[in-house]
Structures are given as structure tokens and as C-alpha cells.
């Protein structure tokens, strides 16, 4: 099983894994990149339930409080605070001791080489794999500095050791707009997702009277230099993902649109998990009906 990079959209990987298990599939190996490394690592460590409970109970303010902002030009978030908080929920362990084979990738930005983690500290590997350029500061590990593995290999199918005698399932959460679906309002148990509190809704209504949408639309829309760089990187990554997927004999593909959530919208965890579940149901129905 391969889990792509994608920031907060990568939380959809949780729903994908849960649905696969509900349908009786056994995950024999996981390769992940960035957010895929985080979710895949939690699952391989047997701590998916604890991780899900923690991430789904974070609201906007909680997420903001876990962002240790800095004025460094190397990234505006240090990235240590959130992992220290998660370590209180799920303790660090050695990758080679995990219940199933797990690997993830990062990039040594000085040499430009892809580095694959198959042993050592799980959190060190996850932190290195998820160091999104310009957002998180590079991760230091063994005298090296790493950035997000998605720079070179966002869908790390190449890390899977044996995909000839097993189903190769790939989850890609940086898909085109055509894969966008309306966000669900309830989870699998029928519980409503968190909504904006009434005081915040009232505030937004009041503010809209001072800053009406019509006035905003009169101004020509344009991208800032940072947004332009980000958009350009997204386009390059989207095309690269497609080329990687075409290179390997993928048995089942779960694709989720980049529009579903922003990179740092981790407060939408429950929603993204449910989207991952819905998308996997559709993909499994196609796979199983096609094999009959």
C-alpha cells in the first residue's frame, strides 16, 4: 500500500485504511511520503486508534497553538511542537520493530538525493519526510538536513519491496479538480462534523456588512509571489504523480482532489477521513465487480 504526500488531505489515508480493513483486506506493507508517512507510520505501529482520536479532537485553535512559528527564511514553522505533542499520545519506536514493513522517503536538500528510511526512529523519519519546503524548517538528522520526500517522489511506489504477488493499492491526495466531492456533513456513525460556533457566524455576518463580497470581486484577482511559486510546484507535482502512477501496474487507485482541503487544515481531520472512506468504497466496488 502506498500513501502519498498532501498535508492535511493526507488524513484521508486513515479512512482508506479503515475501509480496507472493514472489507477484510490485510495490509502487508506500507510506503508513505510526508502525510502518508505520518498515517502509515501510526498504522504500522498499531496506534491508528490513538492517533485518530487525537487528531480528530483538534479544532482550529488547537492546530494554531501547535504551530511553532518562526521568522526564519528556511520555513515559517519549526515543526517540533506538534511532534512533541503527538509523542505524548504515541511514543516513538524503531521502524524495524513495527508490526508490518514500513518505509518513507525524504530528500537531502544539499545533495539532492532521495533518502529512504527503513530503520531507526519512527518520528525522525516522519519528521524528515514531512518537512514541506518554505512551510516547515528542514529536519536535522545524523548531520543531514531533509525536506519533504514529495519534492522527488510524492507517490513512493518504488519503495514497495514486493508488489508482484499482492494487490498494489495507491492513495493519491493531490488529484485534479475532477475528483472533488462535496464534503460530507456526518461521519460513518451519523455524527455531525464540527461547525462554526454561533458567535463566530455572527461575527462573520457583521464583518461582511463592512467588507461586502461585491467590493472584493471588483478587485482583479492575482497570485502573490509565494502563492505563484506554490501553484507552480503543485502543477509540477500533479504531473509527476501521474507519471509515477503510469509507470507501475497499480491494481487499485484512490484519488482525492487537491481542492478538498488546504495543506494545514488539520482541524478538518474527521471530514477528510470520511472522504477517504467514501472514495475507497467506490474504488473497492469497482475492483471487486471487475474481478467477478
Helix 35-44 to helix 122-129 angle (10° resolution) is 160
Q: Which residue out of 5, 103, 129, 148 is catalytically annotated?
A: 148
Rounded CA gap, 267 and 23, in Å?
A: 28
- Asked if 128 and 101 touch (Cβ cutoff 8 Å), the reply is no
Q: Which residue out of 34, 103, 129, 257 is catalytically annotated?
A: 34
Please confirm, yes or no, whether 161 is among the known catalytic residues: no
Please confirm, yes or no, whether 129 is among the known catalytic residues: no
Closest to 95 measured CA to CA, from 61, 63, 141:
141
Helix 12-22 to helix 48-56 angle (10° resolution) is 140
β-strand pairing of 144-148 with 139-141: antiparallel
- Residue 70 C-alpha from the chain's centroid: 23
Q: Strands, DSSP E only, in the chain?
A: 2-3, 30-33, 75-77, 102-108, 113-117, 134-136, 139-141, 144-148, 169-175, 252-257
Closest to 234 measured CA to CA, from 1, 9, 67, 79:
9
β-strand pairing of 30-33 with 134-136: unpaired
For the annotated catalytic residues, the residue numbers are: 34, 148
Amino acid at each position: 500500500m502506498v500513501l502519498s504526500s498532501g498535508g492535511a488531505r493526507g488524513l484521508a489515508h486513515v479512512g482508506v485504511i479503515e475501509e480496507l480493513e472493514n472489507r477484510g483486506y490485510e495490509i502487508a506493507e506500507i510506503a508513505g511520503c510526508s502525510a502518508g508517512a505520518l498515517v502509515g507510520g501510526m498504522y504500522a505501529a498499531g496506534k491508528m486508534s490513538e492517533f485518530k482520536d487525537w487528531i480528530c479532537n483538534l479544532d482550529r485553535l488547537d492546530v494554531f497553538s501547535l504551530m511553532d512559528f518562526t521568522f526564519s527564511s528556511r520555513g515559517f514553522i519549526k515543526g517540533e511542537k506538534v511532534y512533541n505533542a503527538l509523542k505524548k499520545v504515541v511514543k516513538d519506536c524503531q521502524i524495524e520493530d513495527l508490526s508490518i514493513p514500513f518505509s518513507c522517503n525524504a530528500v537531502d536538500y544539499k545533495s539532492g538525493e532521495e533518502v529512504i528510511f527503513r530503520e531507526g526512529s519512527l518520528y525522525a523519519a516522519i519528521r524528515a519526510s514531512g518537512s514541506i519546503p518554505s512551510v516547515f524548517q528542514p529536519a536535522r538528522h545524523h548531520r543531514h538536513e531533509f525536506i519533504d520526500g514529495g519534492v522527488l517522489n510524492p507517490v513512493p511506489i518504488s519503495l514497495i519491496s514486493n508488489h508482484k504477488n499482492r494487490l498494489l493499492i495507491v492513495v493519491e491526495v493531490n488529484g485534479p479538480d475532477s475528483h472533488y466531492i462535496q464534503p460530507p456533513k456526518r461521519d460513518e456513525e451519523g455524527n455531525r462534523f464540527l461547525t462554526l460556533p454561533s458567535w463566530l457566524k455572527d461575527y462573520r455576518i457583521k464583518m461582511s456588512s463592512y467588507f461586502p463580497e461585491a467590493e472584493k470581486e471588483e478587485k482583479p484577482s492575482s497570485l502573490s509571489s509565494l502563492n505563484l511559486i506554490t501553484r507552480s510546484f503543485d502543477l509540477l507535482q500533479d504531473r509527476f504523480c501521474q507519471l509515477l502512477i503510469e509507470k507501475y501496474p497499480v491494481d487499485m487507485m484512490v484519488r482525492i482532489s487537491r481542492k478538498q482541503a488546504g495543506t494545514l487544515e488539520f482541524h478538518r481531520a474527521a471530514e477528510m477521513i470520511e472522504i477517504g472512506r467514501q472514495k475507497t468504497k467506490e474504488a473497492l466496488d469497482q475492483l471487486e465487480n471487475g474481478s467477478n
